[in-house]
Amino acid sequence: MPIITKITAQKQTTDRLNIFLDDGSGEKYAFSVDQDILIKYNLQKGKELDDLEIMDIQYGDLIKKAYNKALEFLSYRMRSIKEVKDYLLKKEYEEVVCLEVIGKLQEYKYVNDLEFAEAYVRTQWQTNGKGPSVIKRELREKGVHPNFIEEALEPYNQEAQIEEAIGHANKVLKKNHKLSTVQLQQKTEQYLVRKGFPFGIISIVLEEVNINQDESEEWSALEKHAEKAERKYQSEEPYVFKMKMKQFLYRKGFPLELIDKYLEQEGEEN
C-alpha cells in the first residue's frame, strides 16, 4: 500500500497541505488536503493508505472546499438555501456535494430559510418600500417554502401595508400635480401595483389620499396640456382643430365640461 512519505505546507495557501506518497516506485506528490482533513484522518508521515481510504480523504477534502466556498458566499449577507446551492452548482460542485454542504450549514445554523425570509421581508418593506406581492414573488424565486414566506409576512399586515402605500401615493401625487385627476389616479394605481400592493389595499389608499385636483389645479393642468396640443394641431382647419383638441384632452383624463369651457374661451379670444 502507498505510504505517506512527506507532508508540506503550500506556499500561497498555508491552510492546505501537500501529501506525498510512495507506492513502491518512489516518492511523488499525490494530493492536497485542508488542515482540518489532515487532523480528521490523522494523516502523518509513515501512515499507509489504501485506495478506498485515499478516495474517502479526497472526497472529505472536496466537501471541505465546497463548505469554505459557501461560508465565503454567506459572509456578504444572508442567503436562502437555494441561493447557496445554486452558487455551489455554478462553481461546478456536484449535487451530492452541495446537499452535504447545505446539511452541514444547517446543522451549524449558517442557513435558515425562515430567518432569511423574516430578514428579507423587513429589508424590502422598511428599507425599499416594496409591497407584499413583490416580496412574496422574490422569496419564491429564492426557493423559500410558501409556509415560511407567509409566516415572515405576518408582521406586514393590512395596517402596515396601507401606511406604506399611502406614503408612496403621496409622493406620486406631489411629483405629478400637473396631471388631470383621472391621470393622477391611474398613475398612482399603476405605481402601487408595480410596488407589489394588492388591489384591496390600493382601493383603500385611493380613498384615503387626496387624488381629486381642485378646480384651479385641474384648470392649470388642462392649460398645460392644451398648449402642447395647440402647437401640434395649429395648422388644422378650425373644426378639425377643435375636434382633435377635444379628443387629445379627453384622453388625458380631463372632463368634457372643462374641455368645452377651455375651447369656448379660446374661441372667444381668437
Read off the pLDDT of residues 213-244 as tens digits, 9 standing for 90 and up: 556 677 777 778 888 888 888 888 888 888 88
120 touches 152 (CB < 8 A): yes
* Burial class of 223 by CB neighbour count within 10 A (0 to 12, 13 to 18, 19+): exposed
d(C-alpha 189, C-alpha 203), whole Å: 9
Task: Strand 3-9: give its sheet, edge to edge.
Answer: 3-9, 16-22, 27-34
What pLDDT shows up at residue 214? 57
What pLDDT shows up at residue 265? 78
113 touches 76 (CB < 8 A): no
d(C-alpha 205, C-alpha 59), whole Å: 58
d(C-alpha 202, C-alpha 160), whole Å: 13
Per-residue cell: 58: 479526497
What pLDDT shows up at residue 229? 84
Q: Which helix (H) or strand (E) holds 61?
A: helix 51-74
Of residues 191, 178, 192, 186, the one with CA closest to residue 222: 178
Q: What is the DSSP letter of 43?
A: -
130 touches 99 (CB < 8 A): no
What pLDDT shows up at residue 191? 95
At CA 269, angle to CA 265 and CA 270, rounded to 5? 115
List the chain residues with pLDDT less than 70. Answer: 211-216, 267-270
In which residue are the cell numbers 395647440 written? 230
